[in-house]
Structure 1
Amino acid sequence: MSDLGSRLGPQGRALLHGGESDYPKATPQELDFLINDLRFPKPGTTIQTVLGYLYNYIPYIKHEHNLRLVIASFLNNPLCFGHQAPPMEQNYLILEVFKLITDKKLKISQPTLTIRNYYEVILTELTNFVSFNPTANSWKILPILSGLFLSNELRDQLYTEVSYLDYGWFFSDWDNKAKSLFKKALGLSISPSHSDNIINLSLLSFAVIFKKTENVEEYSGQVPSSFIIPKLVELIILNPEDSSAVIFKFFHLDPRDTQSMDIIQKEISQKPVIKHINKLSFLLEAYFQTLKLDSSSFEIVMDSLLKILDFNRRLCHNTQSSLFNSKGSTLDANPVHSVFWRSLKSLLFSEIIIFQGILTRFFSASRPSFFNLFGRRDLGRFESQYKQIALKILHSLYYVHFVMLSIGQGGFDSYNFVYYLTSELAHNSGIGFENLTMSLIGDYREVNLYPDVINSDYIAASKVLFVLGLWENYLQSKKANQIFIKEKIFGLAMDLADDRKYKEGDVVEAAHSVVLFCFANSTTNNTHETFAYVRLLLGQFPSRLSSHQLNIAIETLGKKLLSNPVQYLDEGYKDSAEEFIAFIYTEAEKTIPGQSIDTKQVIQSEISDPVAGSIAPEYEFAKRTTAGTSREAIIQALINLIPYFPLTHFTSWLDRIWELVKSSTPEEAEYLITTLWKALSENMDMNRVELGVRWWYEMRGMPETVKEVPARKEARL
């Protein structure tokens, strides 16, 4: 169109710059040049050039006839709508340009064709065009209608809301007619007779206007979901140039290259699928929910999940071997890093939407009417299918967990729904869950558990964290296999909890939680493992573990061991309970008084007189609820075991604890006495309460009137 200005003459140039000729007889002749270029583009003309003509002309057209001519000519443009459809990415621009044209038309202040006539003419032309040849022409109108629909918000702001009587009924009627036309055309456009370029353009045009409250099957008509779902999966993740797979282009960029951002903008960020990834995922979610509960539908779901799994695996492995594999990537000031992580977050969110659709289908089918419709054998088959589906989803989440860690799970309700539901379903799969988790953490090809790797490789650590999280949930399930726990989980978790080898704090803490659940849910007591773990805990306190974490851990172990002690025949102790209490007592006894947990500074370097003499009848309990020194924390851990002390040695152990309190600093003693009273007065059976209270008042001479002690705060290790 570069030479069009010279060919149009004065009136034509006026039209080119925003208006039409004031001479009606000359206008069609001038528009002929535009129409000629639309119908018979010269060599070198591109789709972008054609759409540029439309954007510069259509908003300023004054006469209905001229708008009809322009729209009709465009619909016959061989570049956009020839016998062989161009790549989807090029024709997608039709959608964006018609939104821009309509936005411009809605805002224009010059006297032009009325808004009513503008909408009426376009809808009439599109309707007639489809009617002329529905099979060949339907797909061509979809991006045009989608562009107009996307302007509805601006349209309603400027017209409907301002003057509902003038525009409300008109636009409501127009929307209904346009939506009906869109549905008719869409059903004819997403058929096997069309090329992938046409199908993809049609699905994208549909996705950008689809609302979750709508019935997706009303749009696609007789086209089965079994055909549409694979096409959507391919559009979202498989096509190397048009799908989310363009993200892999990040791995060929140098974040330090100043031209990288230009490449990202052109080859990644502006790609239609990337721009509308969430809308495409909502559409796919809706189609998954329409599938019947039969074997063919199950195959469609599993095939889709396998493709997503393969995509996530490749994405994870590529990221792991790239410059983006660092924990601080999400905070990196480098713009390439920032765009990369934003792209991954958007991708993760879209996948969660898809998984949610698959799982929601199961729930919608699990209502009472569903159980009345199918027999017990069918229900068993469906449950088996969903266990397999759950395992595949968890496997996919494993590979994108490094993205999840950068976001944070809190508040991400859709992710939590998918994660916890699939975890629960997977637990019921028995050997399937066990084999999956061991392959994810025990297979050297997936994760190298060598400490130097976990300490320096963010994505390797994220994989380990994901499996530890699965195990933590599994250990709280009634389906947990004791043999699997003992032979597989415990040893790995114990090793990962050792901070002398593993320095990644999140991994160490997660491993501790798994170990504690192993002890809590074990049906047997292994004193050797228990004491080994207590030594590990004490070695990490207070440098890594807080006083709360230490207390929770020791109480968990003590409760388990003291409730069912192992009897000794030739040991120095009567049983494992007595040995355990003595072990903690010895650790407390040798802990230096006054050593602050936070600063490692001594509160009071010299201890003068025993503390017991300073306890007056008017004694008030300490206001502190958290241990401030190492000695306080370890003695408190021993005090918390009092409810489980054997009755035969109950008061004698209280006497020994009292000696520990007396040999502490005054500040520590005040806190420990508070903790001691709390243990004696709460959460014990009647026999121990009677012994404890009598010891408190009669043997120690503590005051009969005491102030209420604040409840102890618990912390999860």
Structure 2
Amino acid sequence: MQSLYNKLGPEGRSLVGFTDESSFEHQVPTQLDYLFDELVHPKPSTTPQKVLSYLAYYYPKIKNEGNIELLTYSFLKCPLFFSNLQSLSFMDHYRVLECFKFVMDKKFQVSQPTLPFYKFYNSLFRVLASEALDPANSWKSLPIAVGCLLSVDSRKEYDNYPEMYQLISQIDQKLLDITVAAIESNFRGPMLLDPLYLNVVALACINDKLGQDQLRKVIVVRPDLPRLINDLVVHSNYGLSNGHVFSLTDVFAQCPALNHLSRISFLFCKIVSLHPNTTLLADQLDLILNQMLTLSETVSQLGEPNEQQWVLLRTLLFAQVMLFESVLSRFVHINSQPLAQQLMPTFSRKIMSILFNLNFVVDKIGTGGFEAYNFVYDLCLNSIINYDIPTAELLINCWTSNIQFGKISTSQMDRAKLLFDLQFVENVINLISDDLKFNCIIPIVRNLINTASDQDVLEAAHSVMIKFFTILDSFNEHSTNVNYHANMEKVKTSMLDYLTLALDQFPERLSLNQIGIVVETLTKIAFPNSPLYESEPELSREMLLLLYNRCQVVSNRPLPNSTEFPKTLQSAFLTLLIRVIPLISFTEYEQWLERTFILICRNTNDEKLHLVDKLWDAILATNKYYPQKGYIGINWWYEHVNQEAREKAKL
């Protein structure tokens, strides 16, 4: 045979070598041979979806390392996916990513008795590492590598310490390095939007595994990453499509960027914190907030959201609040104070307007435990108050004109906007101009208190009015747009009417606790030792008589849904009167103790005992803060209340 081999030419030797090295079994094409051929030379009927279904089926079943490599090499030559970087289809390559995550998850769980997972993974890695040696081809390995890396967490959940786990972890790290290098290489060259967006999704998927230095290198290559991320999420058809996404039937399947919105948001926040060029970053963020504001206005025009839309809205809200938190955190402690004074009010105004438009989502899910939202709201509010009160007035005018008051009871969007507006007004009402306050806000709030059928709106309106009455205690003498005397007169002329209205709404609209806050707040403003008392001492007496007369004329009917003291309407009003007693002037203190006690004695035994205890607590509170009045009150108690109790005991 050797002599024959030596006599043959090159073609003959090749044929002999093939015959010797190949068994009959290998000469017969197998299913894999057909698959390899179809991957490299797809038929007209072969689609990308069909190719991926083949891969998902065959990869976990292959028992030979060489065949894993051959299948991977063949796939990387498939013209349906890897013909040219500029013709890359985002959706097709995203499905490659999902396919390989599925393959890795499946293979890890069924590793035995077929090819062990480590050998499978290592075979796949060798091909990807070989492909990555040529930077021009590194883009081909990207979706496969990211799919494998996405599987790391699910692998650990299934089995944190599989066989050869240390070697598997080494492959994970090497694959991560290859992926980062591929992303950097891709970003350096000119790219169409689809490859760019795929790079962004890939970066978001591996973000939790990246060190800060690795991400900084990527940012240096693409300093416009924040804008690019926003384009993907807000404008592209793979994201929100400028709000048109809400008309789709299967949002998360049709829009991959939304499927990874949480990952993309974390990536954005990390980039904002690490970006080396503050000025460039600020310009991008300003543009991004403008676009988000436009999007929020579109979203606020939705009708009643369906279940899928609510899921998307909640996801969007959480993502945006994360973004806002990162933006504010970056600039609130910036070294350049002038830049902070310039940027913080601008950013805060836009963020607050976005939250105004999306408040119908917050209204549905609540902010309990949502610390990031509260941080963002409070920081924006403080920035506007500290740097730019005219902006606060602009926001109030804009928001209020944007609310359709006639639809408050039927439109959750307008209701939520009104609640947000009232909450903001409550925080700034004593800082804004008298013109806006007296000619716009107060008339609207009064009308809401009189007519609002919605309980939350009513309570929010009351909160604004109560805050307005405290202006005399919080007045800033350096303020140029607030006239102290004009506000004093406004408080004088409106306080008694407001208290009367609030008392009329108890107990049908206001709870005992709520009306108690109203009474206590207003009496502290109008009673002795206050600026208003010095200007108008008679007002406190009128308020006291109003409470006293209510106690005299109200019926003794049971309070609705009351199982504890006070159980009757008269007892409830008496508790309000008792709360005011420590504030009564020294000269009238004992007289009002006597009047109150007489009213208490009209009640049934159980209610009377509770009211007497409340009265004694009020006397002790007086003694704590006003010892002279307290001394009078204690003497009166032992001469009248205790004496009466002893005489009854003798009988």
TM range (shorter): 0.7 to 0.9
What amino acid does structure 2 have at the position aligned with 1:68?
E
Q: Is the 8 A contact 1:187 1:222 kept in 2?
A: no
Residue by residue, what CA displacement relative to the aligned partner does 1:398-421 show, whole Å, maximum 9, x if unpaired? 111101111111011222222222
Equivalent residue for 2:356, pick from 398, 404, 408: 398
Q: Which residue of 2 aligns with 1:430?
A: 388
Aligned pairs for 1:370-385 (under 5 A) are 370=335, 378-385=336-343
1:360 matches 2:338: no
Q: Secondary structure at the match of 2:208?
A: coil
1:492 matches 2:448: no
Q: Which residue of 1 aligns with 2:239?
A: 243
1:456 matches 2:410: yes
Q: Secondary structure at the match of 1:654?
A: helix
Aligned pairs for 1:91-490 (under 5 A) are 91-108=93-110, 111-132=113-134, 134=135, 136-156=136-156, 161-163=161-163, 167-191=164-188, 193-211=190-208, 214-215=211-212, 217-218=214-215, 221=218, 223-224=220-221, 226-239=223-236, 241-245=237-241, 248-251=244-247, 264-265=249-250, 267-292=251-276, 294-317=278-301, 319=302, 322-324=303-305, 337-362=306-331, 365-366=333-334, 370=335, 378-443=336-401, 446-450=402-406, 453-474=407-428, 485-486=437-438, 488-490=440-442
Equivalent residue for 1:529, pick from 494, 499, 504: 494
1:587 matches 2:550: yes
Q: Is the 8 A contact 2:242 2:295 kept in 1?
A: no
What amino acid does structure 2 have at the position aligned with 1:466?
F
Give the % identical residues.
27
Higher relative contact order at CA 8 Å, sep ≥6: structure 1 or structure 2?
Answer: 1
Residue by residue, what CA displacement relative to the aligned partner does 1:51-94 show, whole Å, maximum 9, x if unpaired? 11212222233333332222122112221122243431222000
Distance 1:264 1:493, change over 3 A: same
CA RMSD of aligned residues (A): 2.9
1:199 Cα deviation from its structure 2 partner:
1.1
> TM-score, with normalisation over the residues of structure 2?
0.86
Q: Is the 8 A contact 2:324 2:351 kept in 1?
A: yes
- State how far apart, in whole Å, the 1-side matches of 2:23 and 2:370 are: 60
1:540 Cα deviation from its structure 2 partner:
0.8
Distance 1:633 1:310, change over 3 A: same
Q: Is the 8 A contact 2:145 2:175 kept in 1?
A: yes
What amino acid does structure 2 have at the position aligned with 1:353?
M
What amino acid does structure 1 have at the position aligned with 2:421?
V
- State how far apart, in whole Å, the 2-side matches of 1:467 and 1:302 are: 23
Q: Which residue of 2 aligns with 1:644?
A: 583
Stretches of structure 2 lacking an aligned partner (at least 5 in a row) = 1-21, 476-487, 647-651
What amino acid does structure 1 have at the position aligned with 2:289?
L
Q: Secondary structure at the match of 1:456?
A: coil
What amino acid does structure 1 have at the position aligned with 2:87?
A
Alignment size in residue pairs: 606
Equivalent residue for 2:566, pick from 627, 633, 636: 627
Residue by residue, what CA displacement relative to the aligned partner does 1:168-212 show, whole Å, maximum 9, x if unpaired? 331222122111111100111234601110111121122123218
Distance 1:303 1:109, change over 3 A: closer
1:545 Cα deviation from its structure 2 partner:
0.7
1:69 matches 2:56: no
- State how far apart, in whole Å, the 2-side matches of 1:529 and 1:245 are: 51
1:497 Cα deviation from its structure 2 partner:
2.1
What amino acid does structure 2 have at the position aligned with 1:472?
E
Distance 1:520 1:139, change over 3 A: same
What amino acid does structure 2 have at the position aligned with 1:244?
L
- State how far apart, in whole Å, the 1-side matches of 2:317 and 2:455 are: 25
| 430-439 or 411-420, larger mean C-alpha shift | 430-439
Equivalent residue for 1:687, pick from 619, 628, 632: 628
1:217 Cα deviation from its structure 2 partner:
4.5
1:41 matches 2:42: yes
Distance 1:299 1:169, change over 3 A: same
Q: Is the 8 A contact 2:219 2:275 kept in 1?
A: no
Q: Secondary structure at the match of 2:453?
A: coil
1:661 Cα deviation from its structure 2 partner:
1.8
Residue by residue, what CA displacement relative to the aligned partner does 1:596-621 show, whole Å, maximum 9, x if unpaired? 11169xxxxxxxxxxxxxxxxxxxxx
- Is the helix fraction higher in 1 or 2? 2
1:474 Cα deviation from its structure 2 partner:
3.5
Distance 1:456 1:233, change over 3 A: same
Q: Is the 8 A contact 1:212 1:282 kept in 2?
A: no
What amino acid does structure 2 have at the position aligned with 1:548?
N
Q: Which residue of 2 aligns with 1:259?
A: none
Q: Which residue of 2 aligns with 1:713?
A: none
Distance 1:693 1:398, change over 3 A: same
> TM-score, with normalisation over the residues of structure 1?
0.78
1:60 matches 2:61: yes
Q: Which residue of 2 aligns with 1:598?
A: 560
Q: Which residue of 1 aligns with 2:4?
A: none
1:213 Cα deviation from its structure 2 partner:
7.3
Q: Which residue of 2 aligns with 1:260?
A: none
Distance 1:149 1:28, change over 3 A: farther
- State how far apart, in whole Å, the 2-side matches of 1:31 and 1:496 are: 75
- State how far apart, in whole Å, the 2-side matches of 1:439 and 1:195 are: 43
1:484 Cα deviation from its structure 2 partner:
5.3
Q: Which residue of 2 aligns with 1:506?
A: 456
- State how far apart, in whole Å, the 1-side matches of 2:282 and 2:215 are: 23
1:22 Cα deviation from its structure 2 partner:
9.7
Distance 1:158 1:663, change over 3 A: closer
Q: Is the 8 A contact 1:547 1:627 kept in 2?
A: no
What amino acid does structure 1 have at the position aligned with 2:449?
A
Equivalent residue for 1:539, pick from 499, 504, 509: 504
- State how far apart, in whole Å, the 1-side matches of 2:200 and 2:87 are: 15
Q: Is the 8 A contact 1:212 1:286 kept in 2?
A: no
- State how far apart, in whole Å, the 1-side matches of 2:466 and 2:209 are: 44
Q: Is the 8 A contact 1:285 1:357 kept in 2?
A: yes
1:693 Cα deviation from its structure 2 partner:
1.2
1:223 Cα deviation from its structure 2 partner:
4.0
Distance 1:297 1:109, change over 3 A: closer
1:300 Cα deviation from its structure 2 partner:
1.0
Residue by residue, what CA displacement relative to the aligned partner does 1:488-522 show, whole Å, maximum 9, x if unpaired? 44333232222xx2101111111111211111233
- State how far apart, in whole Å, the 1-side matches of 2:585 and 2:239 are: 67
Stretches of structure 1 lacking an aligned partner (at least 5 in a row) = 1-20, 252-262, 325-336, 371-377, 601-623, 706-717
- State how far apart, in whole Å, the 2-side matches of 1:238 and 1:94 are: 23
Q: Which residue of 1 aligns with 2:638?
A: 697
Q: Secondary structure at the match of 1:264?
A: coil
